Structure formats: structure tokens, C-alpha cells
């Protein structure tokens, strides 16, 4: 019987513990030989404690270890450990999306120079095998666009908020029956779908890193995550409100025509991909219907390519178990390659390019803002829209929801197709209007 290939683990948190449990029986042709953790002296089961190394450096330098699994979740430390492991000739499997996205050119170039494999299926989509599809199948075609629900935490939160609204649509006390974002987040945290500090998820950063990684593969160029336009579902100046979901689903308003999701989007134009992350309205019919139907912690992505047309992939996107399967698939693929004298899959070079101008992207949707029902306030909003050449399709005031001592109510202004830059100027002007608060734009997703 062949000797199992030794792996070293950097990190033994929720995901690391699941990975260890998966590989501990050696039946997969690999064995965990060494583990590094932030505090080597912290309590741990005996099966883990006997494998704890004094530091990450000890794991990386272990001559018996051939594959390093990097699970720190820290961009700077992750970069350091990945590069050190590669320099030692180790193959690397990582779930560290922030490190890989930010330092993509450096990490992938080092792996190619050393002739080692770099596995990163777990960085995007949990258990959804989108990296493999993009890297080895669709890469043979010409990707024109993709749009994905890539954060299971946000999708779970929006699913719960929507369910509560649907359950009480005809209740005259609907505002009291609705579920605020804060409470939905607490539910996600109790179930382990959200981190104790959920900032990276709810402000869209997690999705942004994933978009960058997929765009690197799809377009063959380095897409710096720091340059990707990003909005989340909850930020300092805007957040999803129960009234938004009421407006979307009540029959007298939009009647459930759209699903509200946090999406990561890439669209190629003249060789430059325009990348963005933001909440979006997805029509429940048409080519994006499958994406609109993704609920709970599921992730989904629609990919449009020149010859393949439209592809849809769906999978569980949050939690240790689906992430572990993605890690395990990379480890086993590399281990099989080692056993036959190969080096495993490599990442092709990417060129330095310029991202497309998001401001020039044509968009349509609904601008929401809160204001008291006083004379002249809507006229001022319409003046701003006209000044920036944004045409109005309709205006709706949702009177079932009233907030604050001044009785502010949400209104939704439907706008016709217009450049993204014009909408941002309108939002900036709305924020300066006295009595107007939390303006937010809900884009209708179109590829």
C-alpha cells in the first residue's frame, strides 16, 4: 500500500477542524502530519494536540510535508506563508480569498517558477466548483460576462428578511411584523453562517475578493480588488430595509417580479472588464431566473461566453462542510498528480490591464430615499434627476412604513436606462437635501 502523502495545515478553526476530520483516517491517500495555530498551547483534542507545531514556519519547513493547506484568513500572513511554502517547493491549497486576490500576480508567478501546484477552489463559492469550471473549461472560450451570488451569509440574511415580509404582506401592522437586517444577521451568527465580525460579508468585501479571483481567470488579467466598485447590504450610509422587500413583493407595488440579492458582476467591453459588487434586483423570469431562485446559503453564478452561451452553476456557499469539500478536491487532485510524478495544475500568467469604466455602464432601476411628507421635497428630488439627465419612469411612496419622529417614509423612483455615473451624482445630491436620508440605488441586473 502506498505511503500517504503528508500535508501540513496552517490554521485549525471551524474550517480547519472540518478539514482535519476529513483527512484524519488516511483513507484518501493523504495524512495530516503537522498543524500550526495562532496559540499552540490552546486547548485541543488529543488527536490534534499531538500534531501541533511550534509555529507555521516549522510546518512549512518540515521535509516530510508535500502539501500545505493555508487557512489563516489573514491577507498579509496568508501571503507570507503561501510564498514561503512555494519557495520550499511545497504545493499549496488555500481558502484565503483576500490574500490570493490582493497578491495574485506575485503568488501565481512564484508557483509557476517553482513548478508547484496552487489550489484555490475554496476561495470562491464554498462547495460550488466554479473555479475549476472557469479555470479549465470556460477559459477555453471567450468570457463575455458573469454575475454571481457569492456570499452565503448575505443571501441567508436576505432570504430571512424576504420570508418575514411575505408572511405578513397583508398585515396592517406590517412594519412591526417585518424582520430588520440586524435580527436576520443575529440568526445567521447563531447558526454559524456569519462570523462574529460580519463586516467583510455585509459590506461586500468578501464578494469583491471572489469577483477579482474569477475575473483573473475569466479575462486573463490581474484585477486588483482595491479598484473594484463595491457596495454591501449594510454600510454606514445605506442598508437594506424591510420596506424595500415590501415594495418588491406586495401586489400593489412590484408584486414579486424581482429577487433582491447581493451580486458580483463582470462585463467585458473592448477588452476591459468592468467589475462591481452591489445589491441588485434579479428578474424571476428570463435568462437570470436560476440566479434569482438561489436562496438560503446557496451561491449561484451565471457565466456568458461566446461559444458556450449561458451557463449556470449553483452550490452551498457557507459553512465548513462545503468549503472542506473544495479544499479536499484540490488536495486529492494534487496528491494524485504527485503519485504519478506530476506537479498538479498550474495557473496561467495574467497580464496587467485596465479595468473598464463603471461610470459608463448603462443601468436602470429604483432610487430609494426616506423623507417626511412635506411640500416641495419631491419636486427637489425631481429637479436633481432632471439636472443630471436621468429620466423618471414612475414614483411610488410606500406609506405602510414610517420611520423616526419626523415621519419619514420611503419613496422609490424608477429611472430609465442611464449611465451609472449619473446615478451616483444624483445619490450624492440627495444626501445633501435637508430631511432626506439613506438614498440607495437598486439596479436591475442585466447581462
All three cell numbers of 94, joined, read 488555500
CB within 8 A of 369, min separation 6: which ones?
381, 410, 411, 430, 436, 437, 438, 439, 440
**CATH code assigned to 359-444:** 3.30.70.260
Torsion of CA 94, 321, 265, 356, to 10 degrees: 0
3 state SS of 408 = strand
Angle between helices 320-339 and 14-23 (to 10 degrees): 50
Neighbours of 357 (CB within 10 A): 13
C-alpha to C-alpha distance for 200 and 320, rounded to whole angstroms: 17
Cα separation, 418 vs 386, in Å, equals 12
DSSP string, 13-49: SHHHHHHHHHHTT-TTSEEEEEEE-S-TTS---HHHH
**DSSP-derived 3-state class of residue 437:** strand
Q: Output the pLDDT for position 98.
A: 97
**Domain residue spans of the chain:** 5-126+320-352, 147-316, 359-444
Q: Among all chains, which residue has been given the C-alpha cell 451568527?
A: 189
* Closest listed residue to residue 415, CA positions, set 392, 445, 388: 392
pLDDT for res 1: 54
Per-residue pLDDT at 26: 65
Which residue carries 414610517 as its cell? 402
- What are the Cα distances from residue 15, in Å, to 22, 69, 296, 301? 11, 11, 20, 23
Q: Which CATH superfamily is domain 147-316 in?
A: Dihydrodipicolinate Reductase; domain 2 (3.30.360.10)
What is the spatial distance between Cα 132 and Cα 118, in angstroms, rounded to a whole number? Answer: 12
- What is the predicted pLDDT for the residue at 324? 94
5-126+320-352 has which fold? Answer: Rossmann fold (3.40.50)
- Specify the pLDDT at position 14: 87
Dihedral angle over CA of 171, 177, 178, 184, nearest 10: -150
147-316 and 359-444: identical CATH topology: no
Spot the catalytic one: 97, 210, 261, 381. Answer: 210
Query: Which set of grid coordinates corresponds to residue 112?
Result: 509557476
How is 261-304 classified by DSSP, letter by letter?
EEEEEEEEETTEEEEEEEEEEEESSSTTHHHHT--TTEEEEEEE
As a whole number of angstroms, the distance between CA 321 and CA 56 comes to 24
- 48 within 8 A of 64, measured Cβ to Cβ: no
- Residue 227 annotated among the catalytic residues of the structure: no
Q: Which of 133, 9, 143, 137 is nearest to 68 (CA)?
A: 9
Instruction: List, run by run, the mean pLDDT of 10-residue segments along the chain (447 residues).
Output: 86 92 82 93 90 96 97 95 97 97 97 95 92 86 95 96 95 92 94 89 97 95 96 92 97 97 93 94 95 96 94 88 93 89 75 90 97 91 98 96 91 98 98 94 97
DSSP state of 391: P
Amino acid at each position: 500500500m502506498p505511503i500517504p502523502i503528508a500535508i501540513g495545515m496552517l490554521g485549525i478553526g471551524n474550517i480547519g477542524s472540518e478539514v482535519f476530520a476529513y483527512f484524519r483516517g488516511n483513507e484518501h491517500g493523504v495524512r495530516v502530519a503537522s498543524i500550526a495555530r495562532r496559540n499552540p498551547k490552546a486547548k485541543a483534542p488529543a488527536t490534534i494536540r499531538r500534531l501541533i507545531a511550534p509555529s507555521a514556519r516549522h510546518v512549512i519547513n518540515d521535509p516530510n510535508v508535500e502539501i500545505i493547506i493555508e487557512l489563516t484568513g489573514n491577507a498579509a500572513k496568508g501571503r507570507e506563508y503561501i510564498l514561503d511554502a512555494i519557495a520550499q517547493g511545497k504545493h499549496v491549497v488555500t481558502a484565503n480569498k483576500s490574500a490570493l486576490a490582493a497578491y495574485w500576480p506575485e503568488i501565481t508567478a512564484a508557483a509557476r517558477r517553482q513548478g508547484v501546484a496552487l489550489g484555490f477552489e475554496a476561495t470562491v463559492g464554498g462547495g460550488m466548483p466554479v473555479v475549476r469550471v472557469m479555470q479549465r473549461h470556460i477559459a477555453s472560450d471567450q468570457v463575455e460576462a458573469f454575475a454571481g451570488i457569492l456570499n452565503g451569509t448575505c443571501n441567508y440574511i436576505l432570504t430571512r428578511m424576504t420570508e418575514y415580509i411575505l408572511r405578513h404582506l397583508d398585515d396592517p401592522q406590517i412594519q412591526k411584523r417585518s424582520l430588520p437586517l440586524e435580527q436576520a444577521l443575529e440568526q445567521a451568527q447563531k447558526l454559524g453562517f456569519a462570523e462574529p465580525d460580519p463586516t467583510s460579508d455585509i459590506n461586500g468585501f468578501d464578494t469583491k475578493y471572489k469577483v477579482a479571483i474569477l475575473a483573473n481567470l475569466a479575462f486573463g488579467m490581474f484585477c486588483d480588488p482595491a479598484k473594484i466598485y463595491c457596495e454591501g447590504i449594510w454600510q454606514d450610509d445605506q442598508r437594506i430595509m424591510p420596506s424595500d422587500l415590501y415594495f418588491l413583493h406586495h401586489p400593489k407595488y412590484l408584486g414579486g417580479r424581482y429577487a433582491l440579492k447581493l451580486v458580483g458582476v463582470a462585463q467585458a467591453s473592448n477588452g476591459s472588464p468592468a467589475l462591481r459588487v452591489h445589491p441588485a434586483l434579479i428578474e424571476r423570469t428570463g435568462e437570470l431566473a436560476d440566479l434569482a431562485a438561489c436562496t438560503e446559503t446557496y451561491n449561484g453564478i451565471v457565466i456568458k461566453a461566446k461559444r458556450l452561451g449561458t451557463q449556470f452553476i449553483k452550490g452551498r456557499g457557507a459553512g465548513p462542510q462545503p468549503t472542506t469539500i473544495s479544499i479536499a478536491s484540490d488536495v486529492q487532485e494534487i496528491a494524485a498528480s504527485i503519485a504519478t510524478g506530476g506537479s498538479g495544475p498550474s495557473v496561467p500568467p495574467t497580464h496587467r490591464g485596465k479595468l473598464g469604466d463603471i461610470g459608463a455602464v448603462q443601468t436602470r432601476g429604483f432610487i430609494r430615499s426616506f423623507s417626511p411628507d412635506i411640500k416641495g421635497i419631491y419636486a427637489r428630488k425631481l429637479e436633481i434627476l432632471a439636472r443630471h439627465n436621468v429620466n423618471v419612469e414612475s414614483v411610488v411612496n410606500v406609506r405602510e412604513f414610517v420611520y423616526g419622529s419626523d415621519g419619514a417614509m420611503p419613496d422609490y423612483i424608477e429611472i430609465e436606462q442611464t449611465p451609472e455615473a449619473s446615478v451616483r451624482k444624483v445619490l450624492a445630491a440627495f444626501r445633501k437635501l435637508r430631511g432626506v436620508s439613506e438614498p440607495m440605488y437598486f439596479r436591475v441586473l442585466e447581462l
